Amino acid sequence: MKTKTTNKKEMVKSLIDGAIMGLGLFVMFGSFMYRKDISSVMNNVLGPFSYFVGNFLFTVLILAVLTGLYTSTIQKYTTNWELMEKSKEFQKRLRELQKEYLEAKRENNKHRLKRIEKKRAEIMSRQAQFSGELMRQQLKPMVYIMIITLPIFFWMWDYAPSEISLFPLIGAKDLTHSFVFRIPYWLLWYMVCSFPLTVVIRRLLGIRSAM
């Protein structure tokens, strides 16, 4: 009875998660159709905030901190870390078996090769059993994160001022001019700020790598 109740709860939870993710994906991709409207709404909050800060580079830096904080928090509480750890163990074991396989092949040890191939097939079969759930676990936090993050990027893209700012190391550049691959300098600045800040935040929150 207890097992049936647990399975029923897990099924309901999976259905709810699936519905939320489906809605999230719909909202996420549908939002591009209304990018201008969304950025205009966001400007009611972020416009005065940017004016108060007084420098768009500092505004982007603060937004990088905020996005790093909530993306890390969402990932921490929406990811099944036990499942991720199990996947990493399978990957590690497959790499070890690949090394053993190459050694056995060099030695022309047919008995050992057969045994390794059998073990590898077993591990891959076990891994395939939860591959769908693993993919869902990787997608779930991304959906939640993008729903919050896209409006902020829409605003930065539409309201980044065309002004000269002094960037560290590369000097004075127009924020809206492109660096490479049509990446504007404000976006380059966001990426430079976001990566190290997110690493620090993840460590402070005790988040393990999902890879």
Exposure b/e, 176-208, CB count within 10 A at least 16 = b: eeebeeeebbbbbbbebbbeebbeebbeeeebe
**Residue 96: predicted pLDDT:** 86
At residue 174, the pLDDT reads: 87
Nearest CA among 48, 59, 78 for reference residue 147: 78
- For residue 174, the cross-strand partners are 164
Structure tokens at 67: 């996005």
Angle of helix 131-159 relative to helix 81-107, nearest 10 degrees, comes to 120
What CA–CA distance (Å, rounded) separates 197 from 155?
A: 21
pLDDT digits (tens, 9 = 90+) for 10-21: 566 666 666 666
Position 21 scores a pLDDT of 61
In whole angstroms, what is the distance from residue 120 CA to residue 95 CA?
10
**Residue 103 phi, psi (nearest 5):** -65, -45
Question: Which residues, in sequence order, are CB contacts of 12 under 8 Å at separation 6+?
Answer: none
Q: Return the pLDDT at 2.
A: 46
- Residues 130-186: pLDDT tens digits? 666 667 766 777 777 888 888 899 999 999 888 888 777 788 888 888 887 788 989
Average pLDDT, the chain: 80
pLDDT at 58: 92
- Tokens (6 digits) for 48: 């005065």
- The answer on pLDDT for 59 being more than 80 is yes
Residue 52 confidence class, pLDDT cut points 50, 70, 90? very high
Structure-token match 């991304």, residue found: 142
